[in-house]
Structure 1
Amino acid sequence: MFRFNRVYFGLAVALFFIEVAIALFVHDKIVRPYIGDVLVVILIYCFVKSFLNLPVMTTAVCVLLFSYTIEILQYFNLVQKLGLEHNKLARIVIGSSFGWEDFLAYTIGILIVIFVEIIVAKKQLQ
């Protein structure tokens, strides 16, 4: 079950740097709010797969449910309720703004993961 996978880890690190770049330098109405959310679930998926040898669908569904949970906690203003509204890291990690469209972005990100994993699996069988 536990196994380090450097390919997934490398992807997670690359996606992390892309997410940081988006957060620091992109201030638009498409890339930052939507593409960033699509990429974040892919980042989380890759990070989990870096250390756990779990089936694709199990990992994908767990990451999607985790993402949905974080979004729901944003709806209930968790950061404020924990008294962390002035903590920049907490606002970034947990998030502070709820949006129904984020659920769609997370779902699209996981569908991309599943699609890519299917393609990679088929190529490995050839």
Structure 2
Amino acid sequence: MKLKFSLKYFLLTIVIFFVEILIATKLKDIFFVRAYLGDVIVVMLLYTFIKSFFCISNNEKLILGILIFSCCIEFAQYFNIAEKLGFQPGSLMYIVIGNSFSWIDILCYAVGCLLLYLYVKIQPIQKASD
């Protein structure tokens, strides 16, 4: 792993970030989108953000690391970590960290990581056919 800026992944990060904001603000009343799709997409946001600044040759390990990180954050929510860190309900960090544990969220993170894994596996096939 070495430090290397990637404009492609950085632009993808910005697009996915705006999609997440759109989900949280404008599509919040559509239950499926807010409750599930946002959690599927957030692991993709983490992936593109990391790939924006680091050249990582083993994408599978990166995806696994993102899944583990996401699960750790979710389990921290079980222990009300945002409140214990002193963040006020409604504050940006309180929202980012989250405040309620859900097994469904972990499943959504796994689905997002599975989609990333499939993308990474298909990517070399596409390059070979170009």
- Give TM class, smaller chain: over 0.9
Q: Which moved more, 1:87-96 or 1:58-67?
A: 87-96
- Superposition misfits of 4+ residues, deviation over 3 angstroms: none
TM-score if structure 1 supplies the norm length? 0.94
User: Which residue identity lines up with residue 36 of structure 1 in the other structure?
Assistant: G
Q: Which moved more, 1:112-121 or 1:40-49?
A: 112-121
TM-score if structure 2 supplies the norm length? 0.91
- Partner residue, 1:84: 87
Deviations 1:76-113 (A, max 9, x none): 10011122133511122101121110010000001101
Aligned residue pairs total: 126
Judge conservation of contact 1:49–1:59 (CA < 8 Å) in 2: no
User: Which residue identity lines up with residue 101 of structure 1 in the other structure?
Assistant: I
Gaps of 5+ in 1: none
Shift of 1:58: 1.5
2:65 to 62, 65, 78: 62
Residues 15-26 of structure 1 mapped to structure 2, 5 A cutoff: 15-26=16-27
Shift of 1:42: 0.4
Partner Cα separation in structure 1 for residue 61 and residue 106 of structure 2: 18
Gaps of 5+ in 2: none
Partner Cα separation in structure 2 for residue 64 and residue 30 of structure 1: 21
- Partner residue, 2:45: 43
Q: How large is the Cα RMSD of the aligned pairs?
A: 1.1
* Residue identity (%): 39
- Partner residue, 2:15: 14
